Amino acid sequence: AQTVTQSQPEMSVQEAETVTLSCTYDTSESDYYLFWYKQPPSRQMILVIRQEAYKQQNATENRFSVNFQKAAKSFSLKISDSQLGDAAMYFCAYRSENRDDKIIFGKGTRLHILP
Amino acid sequence: NAGVTQTPKFRILKIGQSMTLQCTQDMNHNYMYWYRQDPGMGLKLIYYSVGAGITDKGEVPNGYNVSRSTTEDFPLRLELAAPSQTSVYFCASSSAGGAHNEQFFGPGTRLTVL
């Protein structure tokens, strides 16, 4: 069975600095996607970035980028120039390409931004 | 567009009571999902639907029922509420299946069963 592990329950970063959130996963499948979701205090889940497993190039969305290491089954999120609005819970998630019932979330990392 | 809306925002139930959590989307999405989020945990899939009239179980379906009579609505029914169902419930929708289609989430319903 697939698993997603986020080993950092909480992290803090100074405003304008860079922070990296870690995520590892386990799977025997070859076709899958990985996601980072942001959950602010409003609770609404917001997709931050996603990565297709078949793509070697790391995904980037403005200040957010990932380091996808397929062989190591690692999928970290880097936030550059951290802003106060980045404070939230961040969830790493795995989803099978071909199965709609298999979506696995990690336990989350709470990110604090220090002014 | 309102996106995905959920009602109620909060609810307290007594053990054994029943209730329906409402979910509506106005994006004409075919796929809809129900998740629960327990304290300190990520989301777990309860049920999903690939279109009106079709529903399937997710990872944690026990104690819940769903129906999908229209494209817009996907209510989640709890028949005999139990303390283990205390959680935050999220509804989501996507235009199609497959991991490449983004899921849009509602704001959640916080349910407490006492």
CA dist A92 → A48, A95, B51 (Å):
10, 10, 27
Q: What residue type is assigned to position A38 of the chain?
A: K
Q: How far does Cα A15 stand from its chain's mean position?
A: 20
Residues on A contacting B at a C-beta cutoff of 8 Å: 4, 32-33, 42-47, 50, 52, 91, 93, 95-98, 100-101, 103-108
Query: Per residue in A61-91, pLDDT tens?
Result: 999 999 999 999 999 999 999 999 999 999 9
Give the separation between CA A32 and CA A25, rounded to whole angstroms.
11
Determine the average pLDDT of the residues in A24-29: 94
Residues A97, B99: C-beta atoms closer than 8 Å: yes
pLDDT digits 0-9 by tens, A85-108? 999 999 999 988 877 766 899 999
Residue A38 CB neighbour total at 10 angstroms: 21
Residue B98 scores a pLDDT above 90: no
- Given a cut of 80, whether residue B106 has pLDDT beyond it is yes
User: What pLDDT, in 10s, does the model give residues A45-57?
Assistant: 899 999 999 998 9
The CA distance from B83 to A16, in Å, is: 43
Angstroms from B85 CA to nearest CA on chain A: 18
Comparing alpha-carbon positions, the chain A residue that sits nearest to B107 is A44
First to last CA, chain A: 41
> Residue B38 pLDDT more than 90?
yes
Cβ–Cβ below 8 Å for B42 and A45: no
Least confident of A21-30, B92-101, B103-112: B92-101
The rounded distance, in Å, linking the Cα atoms of B58 and B35 is 9
* Radius of gyration for chain A, computed over Cα atoms and rounded to the nearest angstrom: 14
Residue contacts between A and B (CB atoms, under 8 Å): 60
